[in-house]
Amino acid sequence: MKTILTEQQITLTIQRLAHQVLENHLDLKDTVIVGLQPRGIYVSDKIVAELKRNLPSQKINYGLLDITFYRDDVRQNLHIANATKIDFNIENKNVVLIDDVLYTGRTIRAALDALLDFGRPAKVELCVLIDRRFSRQLPIQPDYSGKVIDALISEKVKVFWKEKDERTEVVIQQ
């Protein structure tokens, strides 16, 4: 097991990602943030907290999206559904989807399908903590990425969060 990002590096990376989102969406009135269930919400919670710290007077529309039943492997693997909480309109809004690891692109494809149940956004951007760029099965690329990792297909990239795993770090496992 090799550590890719320490807790301190993750904190700095999340601050940078939040600032990059702000560079493109200084006024968040027409922008919504959507964290992907289950593990993307740890990243999105932290990015939204950083956005609020930088723009304390602005309302930030922040939701959680479960894509379980939109996955193309839902019949092959048993997935436990999580709560979707989007209590705002995404019609003609800029949506920033946030997830922890971008691997094959299939989760993001499912998220795009699921988003359409809530309206037709003007634009969708993707923000990920880790981009495994050479593992894509679909033509999906992030707009914002914390760290790009060139891992072998046989290696697993794991993101651990104190809130769930008692430590915060990103590792590669064989």
- Nearest-CA neighbor of 58 among 40, 36, 84, 31? 31
User: Which domain range does residue 110 map to?
Assistant: 2-173
Give the Cα-Cα-Cα angle 172, 63, 160 (nearest 5 degrees).
Answer: 20
**Is the pLDDT at 42 greater than 90, yes or no?**
yes
What band does 75 get if pLDDT is binned at 50, 70 and 90?
low
Residues 155 and 172: beta-carbon distance below 8 Å: yes
**Distance, CA of 105 to CA of 125 (rounded, Å):** 13
Averaged pLDDT for residues 10-35: 96
Give the Cα-Cα-Cα angle 14, 16, 17 (nearest 5 degrees).
Answer: 65
Q: How many structural domains are present in the chain?
A: 1
Q: Where are the beta strands (DSSP E) in the chain?
A: 2-5, 31-36, 61-65, 94-102, 123-131, 144-148, 156-160, 169-173
**Is the pLDDT at 33 greater than 70, yes or no?**
yes
Domain CATH number, residue 169: 3.40.50.2020
What is the Cα Rg of the chain in Å? 16
Express each pLDDT in 108-154 by its tens digit: 999 999 999 999 999 999 999 999 998 899 999 999 999 999 988 88
